[in-house]
Structure 1
């Protein structure tokens, strides 16, 4: 009996000794792993292996790694809205900004601020449809119809009086024709010619109440927005300049939004087969405008175009004076 007890005690001693040795070894290995792998580079690779958006993980710097590590990807209300105008490159601006690692854009459009049914669901519902963002990121959304809808500015103001508003504009005559072409391809024009819709029967008097003319009368809409928001909350981008030199216009928007300097000229090579500048994504693929974008406009008589330009000229001058800037729309 005594011999059995002695053997048992010896065996238990060796088991305990082995256990202590195993724990010490494990701690040593973990310390090595922590020192070797607890780095921004390693953690970025691990983020890319998980369900983390590529444009978040792929460009993380040390400061952003700390933000991701210490913060959570949460649903938050947008800090900026692209509010229009229609057919002025709002979709292109939205796509380009979504390539910025500090910006997450809502996919598609949502007319929350002009749709009573949606608006009555409340801001919590609106927040929950936004993409999740980390502390160093901002969420944005777009809806070009906000530009001309009277209920949009006060409702957006009630959500956030400091929100950033991005206005996309272009030559008003070109915009009107693009708007017509868009509706024509959507089967919503019922065979009417562009000039029939924007002129009275005399063929010389512009029909001010026409939808295409109304939207292109920018100064009227901007004045309404200025009743609710300070000009410092707004930035105005010429869609043609965004097409020609996107990196310059996007740098203006970066500064306006308060995000880091990210876009560079070499990110926007000219793609011959598309005949336009596209943004080079981190995957190496190019993000270009939709095939539906950039359709050639209908040809109109020189005299009719002159009448339209004469109509918009004083409105453009009022806009330029209001914004203390000019655009090459003549």
Structure 2
């Protein structure tokens, strides 16, 4: 990670940080004052998105429904499958809170990043102690992808939208499987809401 000069902030991101057991201790050892931003979304939607991404690279993988359960007839969710495990946000947060106070963590809503990107970016800028430079003028909604694009408020430059590997159409999943997952995540979500002091409305 590069050094930050006076008046600069250095940012770094990796999707696997939040769920990797060894990471909180490593980051704390590097800098106990680090501010941490975690983007979270409905864990059921997140799992389906994860599966969709994997299937785009490996078309012959088993169905989402078969991967979700240890035992389909018994309805036992397979918590060892990473697509399911990652969405157990409260479990991962417990590890982080062993090293960092909640004041140093900001949880950003993935849903609001789509519907109200300027609002969520305002929260991020406040959390980092920055002026609110990024506003609604910097976003343009792309109806084809269903996601906002970044744009420069001045000039006529083309908005920067998500690439081909993002915003894929999700496969149709058995509604009963989706409901089983919602029931499975409900206690994890409830605990996560309590820990963060924020109801993300996934239930």
Cα deviations by residue, 1:28-57 (Å, 9 ceiling, x for unpaired): xxxxxxxxxxxxxxxxxxxxxxxxxxxxxx
C-alpha separation between the residues in 2 aligned to 1:274 and 1:181? 15
2:139 and 2:148 in contact (8 A); partners too: yes
C-alpha separation between the residues in 1 aligned to 2:159 and 2:169? 22
Normalised TM-score (structure 2)? 0.91
Q: Which residue of 1 aligns with 2:8?
A: 137
Q: Secondary structure at the match of 2:16?
A: helix
Question: Which structure 2 segments of 5+ residues have no match?
Answer: none
Q: Which residue of 1 aligns with 2:109?
A: 238
Q: Secondary structure at the match of 1:286?
A: coil
Q: Which residue of 2 aligns with 1:306?
A: 179
Which fold has the larger relative contact order, with Cα–Cα distance below 8 Å and residues 6 or more apart in sequence?
A: 2
Residue 321 in 1 paired to residue 185 in 2? Answer: no
C-alpha separation between the residues in 2 aligned to 1:208 and 1:273? 34
Residue 165 in 1 paired to residue 165 in 2? Answer: no
2:68 and 2:77 in contact (8 A); partners too: yes
CA shift, 1:201, in A, is 3.1
Cα deviations by residue, 1:4-24 (Å, 9 ceiling, x for unpaired): xxxxxxxxxxxxxxxxxxxxx
Compare CA radii of gyration and give the structure with the larger one.
Answer: 1
C-alpha separation between the residues in 1 aligned to 2:200 and 2:131? 27
C-alpha separation between the residues in 2 aligned to 1:155 and 1:270? 38
CA shift, 1:190, in A, is 4.2
Matches within 5 A, 1:260-279: 260-279=131-150
CA shift, 1:138, in A, is 1.2
Between Structure 1 and Structure 2, which shows a larger proportion of helix residues? 1
2:140 and 2:159 in contact (8 A); partners too: no
Cα deviations by residue, 1:198-239 (Å, 9 ceiling, x for unpaired): 112334221122211111111100110010101010000110
Residue 291 in 1 paired to residue 161 in 2? Answer: no
Of the candidates 178, 194, 197, which is equivalent to residue 67 of structure 2? Answer: 197
Q: Secondary structure at the match of 1:216?
A: coil
Q: Secondary structure at the match of 2:36?
A: strand
C-alpha separation between the residues in 2 aligned to 1:145 and 1:325? 23
C-alpha separation between the residues in 1 aligned to 2:14 and 2:52? 19
Normalised TM-score (structure 1)? 0.57
Number of paired residues? 200
